[in-house]
Amino acid sequence: MIASLFLYHYYTKLISNMNFLAHLFLAGNDEGLIIGNFIADSIRGKETNNYPDSIRRGIILHRQIDQYTDTHPVVKRTVQRLRKSSEKYAPVVSDVIYDHFLAANWLLYSPIPLDQFANESYHFLNERKQAMPEKMHTLLDYMIRQNWLVNYGSLNGIAKTLREMQKKVHFANTMASSIIDLRKDYKDFEDDFKEFFPEIQEFVKNEITKLG
């Protein structure tokens, strides 16, 4: 039982790093925060101390964002809608769905077009690979080739992401079928996102100030 629980949390962490768009966007223009947010899910325990303060702040911020999101009542409502199709992986699927709505409504939150933001993010991260764990290099290459940040904005792109996530997990799961729920209750999910996102923006703004 303990081993199964450990493996569940391990694979949940492994696939939860598919929701890059919000983390990159919320990091703003601070280079350390961007890198830290990008690599945070691949960093374990005291490994955080191996990085300079600028990147360590980004790792901490990523974890604070995750904690805030996981405990937010609006997100919990979204997760509950996904329980039937995604079961215990509903929180992970909700993160990806929220990235979809950020991409689909991008110009409500950013004056920069999504494709420009994506290309600038890819270039920035690619130029700073040496500051990242080696295991993130392959993931970044794949992310760029597949243009994840832009493709999150289409339902077909999200369906593909969910299929890839389903394959990554070594336990039987039905995450890919969540696209059916998303299509069926699209407006409800979108309303959840639009209610939540301004609140996470305000939270991150305050946390960045605290981090210095």
pLDDT tens digit sequence for 175-196: 556 677 888 899 999 999 999 9
| pTM of the complete model | 0.87
Whether the predicted pLDDT of 166 surpasses 90: no
What pLDDT score was predicted for residue 200? Answer: 98
Give the C-alpha separation, 168 to 164, whole Å: 6
What pLDDT score was predicted for residue 160? Answer: 81
What pLDDT score was predicted for residue 198? Answer: 98
Q: Mean pLDDT score of the chain, rounded to an integer?
A: 85
Show the CA angle centred on residue 128, arms to residues 138 and 26, nearest 5°. Answer: 90
CB proximity list for 106: less than 8 A, separation 6 or greater: 113, 114, 117, 153
What pLDDT score was predicted for residue 5? Answer: 34
Give the C-alpha separation, 46 to 160, whole Å: 34
